[in-house]
Amino acid sequence: MENQVLNAIYNRRSTRGFEDTPLTKEQLDSLMKVATASPSALNQQSWHFTFCSDKSAIAAVEKEVGDLIMASSDEGAKERMKSRNMKVFYNAPTVIFISSDAQSCWSKLDAGIAVENLALAAHSMGLGSVIIGMCKMAFEGANGSKFDKMLGFPETHKFSIALAVGVPTVSKEAHEVGENKITVM
């Protein structure tokens, strides 16, 4: 079956390398429309999107995550960070930080729906993206409120998930799908 949406789902990959090319106003505007068009429980729209192209802000969050991981006792995480040259956002020119209303029991789920919509939309526009949850460490650490303020999160919101977006410099094959992931009744 030939279907653009299905093809986008099947062909999208996580991108871990980006050109140093800013997104255009048109691309950003389209992604902003997609973000706010995402469905949400009871139409509460309890998410907030921070479209960040400020390299120093992105670098500050990335450094905080790297520092926290390197100070941890998780040797596997330390090795992964070293192998990625301490990169969390892989030089993406834009990172979309999604924060959620801490009072809403559905807000984090809504953020997950929104990030997938954004990732698929970016792919359909010829952009690469990678969904990133590990930067949550920066927002839950000692400097978390500083990052919340820096990125303009509403007072009632906390970090949920992020999406790094840009022109990809790398690609990869799809992961193998594990067994026993579907039950048909």
pTM: 0.92
The per-residue pLDDT for 1 is 67
- Element (H or E) spanning 50, and its range? strand 47-52
User: Pick the residue with more confidence: 10 or 45?
Assistant: 45
The string of pLDDT tens digits covering residues 126-181 is 999 999 999 999 999 999 999 999 999 999 999 999 999 999 987 777 677 778 88
The per-residue pLDDT for 53 is 97
Q: For residue 138, which phi and psi values (nearest 5 degrees)?
A: -65, -35
Does the pLDDT at position 50 exceed 90?
Answer: yes
Q: What is the mean pLDDT of residues 84-94?
A: 94
Q: What is the mean pLDDT of residues 37-60?
A: 94
User: Pick the residue with more confidence: 4 or 68?
Assistant: 68
- Angle of helix 25-37 relative to helix 107-124, nearest 10 degrees, comes to 140
